[in-house]
Structure 1
Amino acid sequence: MTTAVDRAYRDLSTLDVRIQTHRRYSEADHDVEADVLAAAAVTADDRLLDIGPGTGTFLARLSAAGHTAALTALDFSAESAATCDRIPGVHGLRGDAGHPPFADAAFDVVTARHMLYHLDDPAGAVVQARRVLRAGGRFAAVVNREESYPLMKALREEVLTRHGITIAPTPDERVHGGNLPDLVARGFGADAIRILRRDNALVFPDPEPVIAYLRSTLTLLGVPEDGDLRAAITADLDKEARARFRTLPGGIWREPKGYVVVTATA
């Protein structure tokens, strides 16, 4: 059965909207990819598996830096796998994080960046990451901090409820910075993990990027992609965001956010 997550990542353009929003409007200049690389102590000769690579920017960064060992991307999205496979030095595969098609101890590093919350069994995926790591190999997972984007979430929930749509818990409510350490510890052991927390905010000077971000999340939340309902919801999001902007002190929309990187050694 095709899920909302499947539909949302069939085309990577909405994901790219969110990536570009964080790059352009983050208050602090945190570099999550650099934090993951440092936390996992990645070197050029590490065989690295990136699970859920999205648009492939992380692997492209490694390739451009002259990474010499094999780089592998695994994603359930055919578009993501194909995009990564076009990066020099990267082998992109379509597959399931819960059943990665690799031998035991096949990698030196496994990364799972902003993807565990999309899985039905994130704990099982962590166990599988442990399986495909050699002894002494490193695992790094990153997710958003708990209680991120409260203003946008409240606006979106109000609009969707108005149109008769009840949304399930969002991905950030299932796996977040508060419970990720315990999740990784169950697969690797509590003594094996290390935690890095980065607190930040999105700061918007005008409503357009808020509206674009909210629209980019609708398919992921199960809102039908076509028809009058989607058009009505997007128009309502636009109207409400602009109205709320007019009430903000100084005309600035600030959304607390951040991320947590948890690393573990096999």
Structure 2
Amino acid sequence: MIGMQSAVEREYRTLSPLNVRIQTHRLYSEFAHDVEADVIAAAAVSPADALLDVGPGTGSFLGRLAGRDAPLTALDHSAEAASACAAVPGVRAVRGDAQRLPFADGSFDVVTARHMLYHLDDPGSAVAEARRVLRPGGRFAAAVNRESPYPAMTALLREVLVRNGVAPAPSPGDRVHGGNLPSMVALSFDSDSIRILRRDNTLVFPSPEPVSAYLASTLTLQGVPDDGALRAAIVADLEASARAAFRTLPGGVWREPKGYVIVTASL
């Protein structure tokens, strides 16, 4: 087994698990919500804004903003993510720590942090760092999951882990979520400037395969090594358990509540 911080580092050595989750949301969401577009709108990003995206993942968000005169900067601890972002035209990719940003005070007009604060040991310090590097009038936007998403999938994953002798790790989303993010942001920004956008949705699965694939993509975050017999046994158990669960579902459809919350604040 590996520790949580180490698990996050190992999780993002490759972007393949992240891409599985992205594709799952694209293919099986009941409503066509677009978190990237929502963040751009909520932060009122203009072509003239110097923007820093913290934890940029695949770089698709920055790709939507490419081709502008204002600089775009990506910061990620993952070499794989930094490399993916460096391939986006006009993006400067930097490896670094969101809790200790390697930028001078007042460097950016906009700082975004999308679905990454819950991976940090001290997410509040990352919000404070985002404020530090903003210019007067600058905007901060963070996106996180709603409270307690995917309850049935989470329960199935935990049952399988326990059955295979693995103690389930606390969900990062239990630490930072749509319910407590506004108060966290208010520690660094004027509460009167804070705005909240909530999008509730549902994953609708017509077959068990995408359920087990999604859960398998989270195993490194659970501290399960990404190779070896234990991993193979857990993946096989997830597949069998998902198939068994489908046999009990009315109409053979698995519905899983989810959603995201975007919190913005300005100087």
Q: TM-score, with normalisation over the residues of structure 1?
A: 0.98
2: CA distance between counterparts of 1:219 and 1:75? 18
Q: Which runs of 5+ in 2 are unaligned?
A: none
Q: For the Cα contact (< 8 Å) 1:181–1:193, is it kept in 2?
A: yes
Q: Paired residue for 1:47? A: 50
1:5 pairs with 2:1: no
Runs (4 or more) in structure 1 with deviation over 2 Å come to none
Q: Paired residue for 1:181? A: 182
One-letter amino acid of the counterpart of residue 239, structure 1: A
- Does the residue aligned with 2:223 lie in a helix, a strand or coil? coil
2: CA distance between counterparts of 1:70 and 1:58? 14
Pairs within 5 Å for 1:188-199: 188-199=189-200
- Does the residue aligned with 1:29 lie in a helix, a strand or coil? coil
Q: For the Cα contact (< 8 Å) 1:137–1:265, is it kept in 2?
A: yes
Q: Deviations over 1:60-92 (max 9, x none)?
A: 1111xx322000000000110111011101011
Report the CA distance between 1:40 and its aligned residue: 0.3
Q: Paired residue for 2:84? A: 83
- Work out the number of aligned pairs and report it: 264
1:238 pairs with 2:201: no
Pairs within 5 Å for 1:49-68: 49-63=52-66, 66-68=67-69
1:20 pairs with 2:23: yes
- 166-175 or 70-79, which deviates more: 166-175
2: CA distance between counterparts of 1:191 and 1:168? 36
2: CA distance between counterparts of 1:187 and 1:151? 35
Q: Which runs of 5+ in 1 are unaligned?
A: none
One-letter amino acid of the counterpart of residue 220, structure 2: T
Report the CA distance between 1:185 and its aligned residue: 0.8
Q: Deviations over 1:142-184 (max 9, x none)?
A: 0000010011100000000111111221111110011011111
Q: Deviations over 1:98-137 (max 9, x none)?
A: 1111010000000000000000000000000000000110
Report the CA distance between 1:5 and its aligned residue: 0.2
- Does the residue aligned with 2:220 lie in a helix, a strand or coil? coil
One-letter amino acid of the counterpart of residue 146, structure 2: R
Q: For the Cα contact (< 8 Å) 1:82–1:93, is it kept in 2?
A: no
- Does the residue aligned with 1:217 lie in a helix, a strand or coil? coil
Q: TM-score, with normalisation over the residues of structure 2?
A: 0.97
Report the CA distance between 1:226 and its aligned residue: 1.8
